[in-house]
Structure 1
Amino acid sequence: MSLQAKLDAFKADFEAGKPPYNVPYSVIETMHRATAELKASGLANTAKKAGDIAPEFSLKDPDGNLVSSKELLAKGPLIISFYRGVWCPYCNMELQALQETLPAFNQAGASLVAISPQTPVNSRKSVRQNKLDFPILSDPHNDVANAFGLRFAMPDYLIELYKNLKNDLPNFNGDDSWTLPMPARYVIAQDGRIVYSEINPDYTQRPDPQELLPALQAIGAANA
């Protein structure tokens, strides 16, 4: 089953209010409103995309080690997934799909990292729960996400909904700004050029990790 098929199946159960979710439709309506408004904002159209030079960054992994994009690119291509947090089931399913495809990424000589605003403690939890062999890097205040053009401020009504659902982002992120990154995937060549980008304001829509492989193959062919 493809990643999107798994996401669609989860979404159908969640929005139908099936156990264990039991979510009232008013919650679903609020989430749909927020997604529609983010789409209409045009933010995804101004984010970094294929052909642009990727911003450099240095972020800490769950063990507190500094990870530099420059050092990773010195070894080979770099894959980045911007990850909302351990609380997001859609994001966790994407991480699991990326883990399944990791051997193919490694075979192409690529490194893979996820970038999240959450604290290292929560990143460790994400790595453990999703059985990952790649790091989730902590991006305080979504500063790197902002450099890629992905950071957005949550509207007040969505903040109120999250609070009612006990989804305490300030606690998860160690930051009370109530900002998130739009989920996004990038493949970056060793010269820093973005060769693949996928940004979607709808967090329930994610590309299958296999879709990143042609970009890696093209990098390999160009370097041959």
Structure 2
Amino acid sequence: MRLQDKLDAMRDDFENGRFPLVPTSGQLETMQRATHALIESGQADRALKAGDTAPAFTLKDASGSDVSARTILERGPLVVTFYRGVWCPYCNYDLQALEEVRPEIEARGASLVAISPQTRANSRKSQRDNKLDFPILSDPGAAVAAQFGLRFAVPDDLIEVYRQFGNDLSAINDDTAWVLPMPARYVIGTDGVIAYAEVNPDYTRRPDPSELLPVLDRLRAAPPA
């Protein structure tokens, strides 16, 4: 089953009371209104795109070690996925789907990292729960996400809904700002230029990881600059 089919099934279960957490009609309306507002804002269209130069970031992985995009790119292309956090079931399905294709990504000489504003402890939980063999990097305050044009502030009414669901992002992210990245996926070539970009203001929509493989094949086949 493709990733989006799984996400669609999850969304249908959630909205129709077949999920462990059953939302009220008011909570659903607040969540849908916030997603619609983010789509209508046009922020996704202003985020970094294919052909743009990617920021040269360094972030800590779940063990506290520095991970440098520049160092990774000396070895080969870099696949970066931005996600909201361990608390988001859509994000967890996304990470699991990426793990399934990770061997094919690495076979093409590329590396894969995930970036989230959550704490390193929550990144370790993400890795354990989703059985991941690629690093999750902590992005305090979603600062790197902001460089990619992905960071947005969670509206006040949605903050209240998330708290009602038991998702206190101020604790999960160790940050009182309540900011998140729009889910996004990038392929960065060894020259630092973005070869593929997909940004989703609707967090229930994600591209299938199989879309990454032809991009990596093209990068591998391209003559050196």
What is the deviation of 1:209?
A: 0.2
**Cα offsets for 1:158-213 (capped at 9, x unmatched):** 11111222210010001010000000000000000000000010000001000111
Secondary structure, aligned partner of 1:80: strand
In structure 1, how many angstroms separate the alpha carbons of the residues matched to 2:154 and 2:42?
A: 15
1:155 CA drift (Å)? 1.0
Alignment correspondent of 2:154 = 154
Aligned partner of 1:217 in structure 2 is 217
TM-score by length of 1: 0.98
- Is 1:128 the counterpart of 2:128? The answer is yes
What does 1:22-37 correspond to in 2, within 5 Å? 22-37=22-37
For residue 185 of structure 1, what is the aligned residue in structure 2?
185
Query: What secondary structure, in the 3-state scheme, does the structure 2 residue paired with 1:216 have?
Result: helix
Across the two proteins, how many residue pairs are aligned to each other?
Answer: 224
Q: 1:1-49 deviations in whole A, cap 9, x for unaligned?
A: 0000000001100000124222222211111100000001110011001
Q: Is the 8 A contact 1:43 1:149 kept in 2?
A: yes
Per mean C-alpha deviation after superposition, the further-off stretch among 87-96 and 15-24 is 15-24
> Partner amino acid for 1:113?
V
What is the CA distance between 1:156 and its match in structure 2? 1.0
- The aligned residue for residue 100 of structure 2 is 100
Residue in 1 that maps onto 2:6: 6
Match of 2:43 in 1: 43
User: What is the rounded CA distance, in whole Å, between the counterparts of 2:74 and 2:104 in structure 1?
Assistant: 19
- Farther off after superposition, 21-30 or 182-191: 21-30
| Distance in 1 between residues matched to 2:67 and 2:28, nearest whole Å | 37
Cα deviation per residue 1:63-90 (whole Å; 9 max; x = unaligned)? 0000000000000000000011000000
Partner of residue 168, structure 1: 168
The percentage of aligned residue pairs carrying the same residue is 60
Report Cα offsets for 1:87-123 as digits up to 9, x if no partner. 0000000000000000100110000000000000000
Letter in 1 for 2:23: V
The residue aligned with 2:88 is: 88
Alignment partners' CA distance in 2, 1:79 and 1:54 = 12
| Aligned equivalents of 1:182, 1:20: Cα separation in 2 | 25
Supply the distance in 1 between the matched residues of 2:51 and 2:18 (Cα, whole angstroms).
43
Query: Does the aligned pair in 2 maintain the 1:54–1:194 contact within 8 Å?
Result: yes
Conserved 8 A contact 1:60-1:66 = yes
CA offsets, 1:116-175, max 9 Å, x none?
000000000000000000010000000000000000011111111112222100100010
Unaligned runs of 5+ in 2: none
Cα RMSD for the two superposed structures: 0.9
Q: Which runs of 4+ in 1 moved over 2 A?
A: none
Q: Does the CA contact (< 8 Å) of 1:17 and 1:24 recur in 2?
A: no
Q: Secondary structure at the match of 2:35?
A: helix
Partners of 2:13 and 2:159 in 1: how far apart? 23
Q: Which amino acid is the alignment partner of residue 43 of structure 2?
A: L
Bigger CA drift: 190-199 or 157-166?
157-166
For 2:99 and 2:84, locate their aligned partners in 1 and report how far apart those are by CA, in whole Å.
17
Residue aligned with 2:158, SS: helix
For residue 137 of structure 1, what is the amino acid of its counterpart?
L
